[in-house]
Amino acid sequence: MGAEFAFKFFLLYLVLVMCVDGKGGARDDSQSEGMHGEPVHVHDHPSSHMDHMDHSLLVFFTLNDLKVGRTMPIYFPKKDPSKSPRLLPREDANSIPFSYEKFPYLLQFFSFSNGSPQAIAMEDTLRACEIKPIKGEVKFCATSLESMLDFVQGILGLESRFKVVSTTYLTESSILLQNYTILEVPKEVPAPKMVACHTMTYPYAVFYCHSQGTKNKVFMVSLIGENGDRVEALAVCHLDTSQWSRNHVSFKVLGIEPGSSDVCHFFPEDNLVYVPMPTMSNNLINVM
């Protein structure tokens, strides 16, 4: 269930986008829930269909979609950096319990009322962080930069050099969903091992970091939106989905079965992937 919870809370981030500021309130930008079949172009179907589709699910695709000229609707959430919580120093993070067992205490500590959007998001995050990983997966919720880097080094190697890759928005835009077209041959980031870190909804910055033993591919994809927006998008493709639950949301979105196809997804701007530094001079290679 670990990988499924990673996806669940990756989507929770997309759906809620709750920006918690200090001990204060949060902004709830939740979208309506709903899952349909294969991804569709925004203008290919009447608005009534799109109104019933959870737009935040439009981040999934397959390797076959990674072709120059391919157009697909993609949801890229935007967050105000000034309102986004920051990673605490290790000493400060360690001074605050991070455990579902301490949830009642944490509600009082952060002055959240039970049942509030902030409390629900915090409870979900704590539960997700304590779920056992699936076979072949290692997971960790980092509450400080130091703890995140310790986990990454433990996966990639204590003596290894590594880099972090992420999505970059090259233009400023308030449009969250639009059709994007692949401009160039997507470039694969060499990643014999990788650690993906997803932002979680919490009063301070928490990253759900995990690494899977199954094979994955990492890509940087140059996109242009129908509104002219440019994005250098980070995408990860999971090549073996045979162990995933049939209820996994990506299967519903793509209309596929577990193990029948790879599953890829784009990362929002504040999610990170750590990969070993390549030994070759050219650190990006073309897909084709």
Does the pLDDT at position 142 exceed 90?
yes
Does the pLDDT at position 285 exceed 60?
no
Residue 283 vs residue 71, higher pLDDT: 71
Binned at pLDDT 50, 70 and 90, residue 1 comes out as very low
Binned at pLDDT 50, 70 and 90, residue 280 comes out as low
Binned at pLDDT 50, 70 and 90, residue 9 comes out as very low
Residue ranges of the domains in the chain?
Answer: 2-286
Q: What are 164's strand-pairing partners? A: 274
CA–CA dist 276, 281 (Å, integer):
14
Does the pLDDT at position 135 exceed 50?
yes
User: What pLDDT, in 10s, does the model give residues 44-95?
Assistant: 333 333 334 467 788 999 999 999 999 999 999 887 777 788 889 999 999 9
Binned at pLDDT 50, 70 and 90, residue 140 comes out as very high
Q: What is the mean pLDDT of residues 117-146?
A: 93
Binned at pLDDT 50, 70 and 90, residue 148 comes out as very high
